[in-house]
Structure 1
Amino acid sequence: MGWSVPTFSKLALISMIMMLSACGPVLRPIPPEITKVTVPEIGSLQTRDIGVPLIEQGQKHIYEALIPSKDMKTNRPLHNGYLTYEGEMIAKMNTDGKKWYCGRMVYVSTDGDREFTGNWCENVHDLEKKWNMPKGTYEIKMVSHIYLNNFQMNLIYTGKRGNEVYITYREFKNEWSRPSFTQNLIFDLSESRVIGMKGARIEVIEATNTNIKYKILSGFIVN
């Protein structure tokens, strides 16, 4: 048995959802587990064009989330469309220690247009009771996302001549380059195919006039 509503305008529907969302429980985020990471990951084989950073720094956030299935998304049909959760629903907690899962509720019209309607929070019991959804229609698991740091140390491939490759080392904060922390480097691959600076080490597999293929051996040492 799916969820349905009377026929009325999309604007009225969106307004109703926004008001209901505002009346929900007061929730606090569950802090994610955070670890420092090198981007791309150490040991990975990569290819980058000239001018694109070869290595960056970030943080991996690991947290609990509810992943809706396709059946769960399409089980709430509306007039001329349906409601769906946009991606994963992040776990949060209320003052009584009850766990909820919150995500973006989106209206999808029959022609495929998507319109964001608001944040919506559910606990697992309510999901099964209100939508008549068996557990097979969603999955609760630990997920992760990587966010780049505001302060970055980059190595950028800028070209080659013979056995020499040209690399620019750059530091910047909040997307603003710091010219005094930019340095142009030349590495001779006939001496070693491992290049790097400040702890970062990259093995050059192949370098051409347009791109470089490489393997990340270690990340920058950040003070």
Structure 2
Amino acid sequence: MQQVATIGQSFLINQNGSISTVRHWVGLLNSPDGWQESKVYSRDFIRQELVYGGRSGNTIDVAYREFRGGYATPAFYQSLKYDLSASTRIRFQKFTIDVVRADNENIVYKIASDR
């Protein structure tokens, strides 16, 4: 199945772990009903994203971002470039993606494998 993403949009998301919503009493002066909700991430929570950055000539730019516990991890940010004249199949970690079309607005792709 073909999918489409625009520049700056995550086009592949892999997420493990869990997120729960917890309600805390903060008082009626701090909230209309006195409650505040917050998200609690499990210790093993990890979210990986590939973000489309556009095309220049035959090269597409992709950014890899990784979040742990709900926060971006600077050590896990990577800028990637793929030359589509060499192959329209790109691979990153366990993912293989077939690029159907890419320009400076959108990428049209199919996920060939996630193993």
CA distance in 1, matches of 2:107, 2:70: 24
Gaps of 5+ in 2: 17-43
Runs ≥4 residues deviating over 3 A: none
Partner of residue 171 from structure 1, selected from 66, 74, 77: 66
Distance, in Å, in 2 between the alignment partners of 1:45 and 1:174 is 31
From 21, 43, 47, the equivalent of 2:4 is 47
Structure 1 residue 151, shift from structure 2 partner: 1.1
1:158 aligned to which of 37, 44, 53: 53
State the aligned residue count: 88
After TM superposition, give the deviation of residue 174 of structure 1 in Å: 3.5
Deviations along 1:107-158, whole A, 9 cap, x unmatched?
Answer: xxxxxxxxxxxxxxxxxxxxxxxxxxxxxxxxxxxxxxxxxx9411111111
Which runs of structure 2 are paired with 1:1-223 in the superposition (5 Å)? 44-58=1-15, 150-219=45-114
Structure with bigger strand share is 2
Letter in 2 for 1:159: G
For normalisation by structure 1, the TM-score amounts to 0.37
Can you give the 5+ residue segments of structure 1 that lack an aligned partner in the other structure? 1-43, 60-148
TM-score (norm 2): 0.69
Match of 1:120 in 2: none
Structure with a larger share of its residues in helix = 1
1:171: Cα distance to partner?
A: 0.9
Larger radius of gyration: 1
Same amino acid, percent of matched pairs: 35
In the alignment, the residues of structure 1 paired with residue 96 and residue 13 of structure 2 have an alpha-carbon distance, to the nearest angstrom, of: 12
- Offset at residue 170 of structure 1 (A): 1.3
